[in-house]
């Protein structure tokens, strides 16, 4: 999998696709969020895309997730629900630590 994992910078043209991915990922993983909270954050997330170094992550040609970093902080990492549990998150995190000097992670719980 790591041999086929690649990334590219995100652009404003990607925001709608990433917002859809974000929502699917949050529904699958953030069971502590009420629907009203998710809808609130869904309105806010697009403005944060422009405030981070956004990378879209692919396994071959399939978009599997995205990350957003700011300085040495990983601010967001969201995966397609079907990609969760297959080592992608770990591979992305390792790449970010080794190549983007990530030292801290923001975790929601």
This model's pTM is above 0.75 = yes
- CB 78 within 8 Å of CB 26: yes
| pLDDT tens, residue by residue, 61-70 | 999 999 999 9
Which pLDDT band, with edges at 50, 70 and 90, does 32 fall under? Answer: confident
Q: What are the tokens at 19?
A: 């917002």
Please tell me the distance from the alpha carbon of residue 26 to that of residue 9, in angstroms, as a whole number.
22
């Amino acid at each position: 999998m790591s041999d086929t994992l690649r990334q590219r910078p995100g652009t404003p043209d990607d925001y709608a696709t990433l917002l859809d991915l974000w929502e699917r990922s949050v529904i699958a993983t953030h069971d502590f969020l009420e629907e009203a909270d998710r809808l609130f954050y869904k309105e806010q997330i697009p403005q944060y895309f422009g405030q981070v170094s956004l990378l879209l992550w692919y396994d071959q040609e399939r978009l599997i997730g995205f990350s957003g970093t700011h300085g040495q902080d990983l601010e967001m990492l969201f995966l397609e629900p079907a990609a969760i549990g297959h080592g992608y998150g770990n591979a992305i995190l390792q790449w970010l630590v080794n190549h983007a000097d990530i030292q801290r992670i923001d975790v929601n719980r």
